[in-house]
């Protein structure tokens, strides 16, 4: 059973995603306190032809298996709507983060020689509104204050949920790059909640002990969750070390 993290309240969850679109290839790298992944998506200008996954750091020993269901993306038309990708690949049957990275790669597959870097920061809850923000290539896109999983500032967004119901209001408020950044920030906020807990010793915290709903991600689905053992020594604290993100240090 996870215990409260005694360091929670004094830190910042950080996540960085870097995307590079070249001719017929899109590479995406992601690192945060819990994860380190790289993918390379190949396409012929019309459809996805291949996707490779490099799972460097992950919460459970079952997580790398999610490279399997992600292969359903091969053959997906690049000009299809996002819902078509979700129907084909099914997010809940995949690693959440690999799916998000693949969706980003598809969205930017036509932007040859494009480089995009998202930096997300989510303050620990200190008993007052916590700042959450995202920058794209150094430029701030969103900066919100959040309390009890709801936005409290800016005033125009006050009361909007950061968990269930987020995507509906975000899609109504933003589009294009602003919507893409908002979705990335919400995902970082969701993962940042893991900072509240300590999962040591890992052998006492298998996946099935988390009580997560079926379909939360690959490792929480039947057939995987019963086998999912927590990886040891994989949690990082980048509060004061943002420069180390995407170095994938051991």
- Residue 167 belongs to some domain of the structure: yes
pLDDT in tens, 26-78: 999 999 999 999 999 999 999 999 999 999 999 999 999 999 999 999 999 99
- Residue 249 belongs to some domain of the structure: no
- Residue 147 belongs to some domain of the structure: yes
- Residue 204 belongs to some domain of the structure: no
Which among 28, 7, 25, 33 is positioned nearest to 17, based on CA atoms? Answer: 28
Phi, psi of 146 (to 5 degrees): -130, 140
Tally of CB atoms within 10 A around 119? 20
Residues spanned by the domain of 11 = 3-198+213-235
- To the nearest whole percent, how much of the chain has pLDDT over 70? 100
pLDDT in tens, 194-218: 999 999 999 999 999 999 998 899 9
| Mean per-residue pLDDT of the chain | 96
Q: What confidence tier does 1 reach under pLDDT thresholds 50, 70, 90?
A: confident
d(CA 250, CA 18): 19
Q: Is the pLDDT of residue 234 over 90?
A: yes
- Residue 243 belongs to some domain of the structure: no
Q: Total structural domains in the chain?
A: 1
Q: Could you identify the residue written with the tokens 């949920």?
A: 161
> What's this model's pTM, rounded to 2 decimal places?
0.96
- Residue 131 belongs to some domain of the structure: yes
- Written as six digits, the tokens of 23 are 């001719």
- Written as six digits, the tokens of 219 are 């490792």
- Residue 229 belongs to some domain of the structure: yes
Across the chain, where does the E strand assignment appear?
A: 3-4, 12-22, 25-32, 36-43, 48-57, 114-123, 130-136, 139-147, 150-153, 197-198
- Residue 21 belongs to some domain of the structure: yes
d(CA 28, CA 117): 10
- Written as six digits, the tokens of 210 are 């988390």
């Amino acid at each position: 059973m996870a215990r409260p993290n005694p360091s929670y309240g004094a830190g910042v969850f950080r996540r960085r995603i870097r995307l590079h679109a070249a001719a017929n290839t899109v590479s995406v790298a992601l690192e945060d306190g819990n994860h380190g992944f790289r993918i390379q998506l190949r396409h012929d200008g019309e459809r996805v032809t291949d996707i490779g996954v490099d799972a460097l750091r992950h919460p459970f020993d079952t997580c790398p298996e999610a490279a399997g269901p992600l292969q359903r993306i091969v053959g997906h038309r690049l000009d299809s709507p996002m819902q078509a990708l979700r129907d084909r690949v099914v997010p809940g049957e995949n690693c959440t983060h690999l799916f998000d990275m693949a969706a980003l790669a598809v969205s930017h597959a036509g932007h040859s020689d494009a480089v995009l870097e998202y930096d997300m920061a989510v303050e620990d809850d200190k008993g007052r509104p916590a700042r959450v923000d995202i920058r794209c290539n150094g430029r701030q896109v969103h900066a919100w204050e959040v309390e009890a999983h709801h936005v409290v500032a800016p005033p125009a967004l006050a009361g909007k949920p950061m968990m269930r119901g987020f995507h509906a209001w975000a899609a109504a408020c933003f589009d294009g790059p602003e919507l893409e950044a908002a979705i990335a920030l919400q995902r970082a906020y969701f993962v940042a909640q893991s900072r509240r807990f300590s999962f040591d010793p890992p052998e006492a915290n298998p996946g099935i002990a988390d009580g997560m709903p079926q379909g939360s991600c690959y490792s929480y689905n039947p057939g995987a969750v019963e086998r999912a053992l927590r990886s040891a020594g994989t949690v990082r604290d980048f509060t004061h070390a943002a420069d180390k993100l995407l170095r994938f240090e051991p």
